[in-house]
Amino acid sequence: MNSLEELLSRGVEKIYPDREALEKILKQRKIRLYLGIDPTGGRLHLGHTVLLRKLQKFAELGHEAILLIGTGTVLVGDPSQRSGARERVDEGEIQRNISTWRKQAEKILDFSKVRIKQNGDWLLKLTMKDLIAIASNISAVQLFKRDMFQERLKRGDTVWAHETLYPLLQGYDSVALDVDLEIGGTDQTFNMLVGRELMQKMRGKEKYVLAVPMILGTDGKPMSKTSENCVWLEDEPSEMYGKLMSIPDEQTDSYLELVTDVPQAELDGARKLSPLDKKCLLALTVVKMYHGEEKAQQVQKEFKNVFSKGGIPEDIPTWKLSGRSVNLPEVLVDRGLVKSKSEARRLISQGGITLNDRKLMEPEVTLEKGVLKVGKRVFIRIE
């Protein structure tokens, strides 16, 4: 499989209007393309990498690749795959969210080959006259036919007027950037096709759309920060490895194809492995990508020791809390093991926190010497 064929087939759900036409252009000339991401959170997860990796592949072939940060569209809030309107974000939150994005994205993108732009640079300067001109190209009926809007209306819920603006604004990004191609997840297909229509009507130009599949999270549901089922790029090696070992067996093949560079021939062979061996290959490969060979081998050895032999990792943190009465949710939040007290309380109620293999079922507890286990993968020595 040559590089162009793999670019347009591996990890690609659909190309609009058709793959053959895009392939023909790519053989003739270099194109300009972009991937847009709204800064709704401060961390990037493996789901983002499917898109970022595809953008980088185009850049490596010499195409003009743009990572577009949605500093303008995020103010509206993408309604895609949402059962209700998104919470509004302010400028301060936007800047906090994107402050570490470049460092995280550098794990995948070569910024000597990929440019960063922000759509707030043009969207926030649009006048009323501009908005009317853009909106006059798209039918209101078309916007309200969106599946998630229809589902809300059937339930008697509200579709807010500002939400119908989102696809128009995202679509206008294509016009402002004058691109040949937009990359996005399948959840963005509607928005991307609105952009294609705007390009045709406002610039008289074809814009291709490449939709990639969305990976599911550790619980088998779409990966998202609100579901707390993400494998984050900033996860520690052991946490990343453990999360990947916990995904449902049926997701392993798609993870190997979408988030790794395991050659296609090896992927075909990997499908014949046992579910456990296949997952070990996935976890080792991904941790190696983001933390290096040495760390990956170390955490794999540790994981097998802990979970196959019932052992405890050698290098675990020590908390000098023996004999002290503590509020467990407060301690776990203060020490960065969980994001919120509600998450800690949920773990406690589910029996997910143990001390010397005894489940701690109350938030107030007196800690004794031994090993505190939080969830499936975190061990703390209490002294």
CA atoms of 20 and 40, how far apart (whole Å): 35
**Do β-strands 208-212 and 181-185 pair in parallel, antiparallel, or remain unpaired?**
parallel
Tokens representing 330 are 């407060």
Strand partners, 33: 65, 181
Same domain, 332 and 302: no
Q: What is the per-residue pLDDT for 165?
A: 87
Same domain, 302 and 323: no
For the chain, where are the E strands, in sequence order? 14-16, 32-37, 64-69, 114-118, 181-185, 208-212, 318-319, 325-327, 353-355, 358-359, 364-366, 370-374, 378-382
Same domain, 270 and 303: yes
Same domain, 200 and 247: no
Length of the chain, please?
A: 383
Same domain, 59 and 125: yes
CA-derived radius of gyration, the chain: 23
Q: What is the per-residue pLDDT for 308?
A: 58
220 is a domain residue? no
**Who's near 56: CB < 8 A, 6+ residues apart?**
65, 108, 109, 110, 113, 114
Same domain, 274 and 325: no
DSSP label of 87: P
What phi and psi, each to the nearest 5 degrees, are found at residue 185?
-75, 165
Q: How many Cα atoms are found within 13 Å in the side-chain-facing hemisphere of 32?
A: 12
CA 274, 278, 280: angle at the middle one, nearest 5? 120
269: domain range? 235-308
Question: Does the pTM of the predicted model rise above 0.75?
Answer: yes
Walk along the chain (383 residues) and give the pLDDT tens digit of each residue.
Answer: 578 999 999 999 999 999 999 999 999 999 999 999 998 888 899 999 999 999 999 999 999 999 999 999 998 877 655 444 556 677 787 888 788 888 999 999 999 999 999 999 999 999 999 999 999 999 887 777 777 677 777 787 776 778 888 899 999 999 999 999 999 999 899 999 999 999 999 999 999 999 999 999 888 888 887 777 889 999 999 889 988 988 888 999 999 999 999 998 898 888 888 888 999 999 999 999 999 999 999 989 888 777 655 567 666 778 888 888 889 888 888 877 777 888 888 888 888 888 887 888 888 988 888 888 887 778 888 88
219 is a domain residue? no
Same domain, 323 and 189: no
* Domain final residue pick, 308, 333, 364: 308
| Cα 128 off chain centre by | 34
Strand partners, 355: 358, 372
Q: What is the per-residue pLDDT for 83?
A: 45
Same domain, 43 and 182: yes
Q: What is the per-residue pLDDT for 97?
A: 78
59 is a domain residue? yes
* Domain final residue pick, 212, 246, 274: 212
CA atoms of 283 and 276, how far apart (whole Å): 10
* Domain final residue pick, 280, 308, 336: 308
Same domain, 165 and 248: no
66 is a domain residue? yes
Each residue's pLDDT tens digit, 170-219: 999 999 999 999 999 998 999 999 999 999 999 999 999 999 999 998 88
Same domain, 184 and 69: yes
CATH number at residue 274: 1.10.240.10
CA 37, 42, 47: angle at the middle one, nearest 5? 55
353 is a domain residue? yes
DSSP label of 377: T
Count of the separate structural domains present in the chain? 3
Same domain, 268 and 154: no
230 is a domain residue? no
Q: What is the per-residue pLDDT for 161?
A: 74
Same domain, 206 and 62: yes
226 is a domain residue? no
CATH number at residue 174: 3.40.50.620
Ramachandran region, residue 274 (left: φ > 0; alpha: ψ -120 to 50; beta: rest)? beta
227 is a domain residue? no
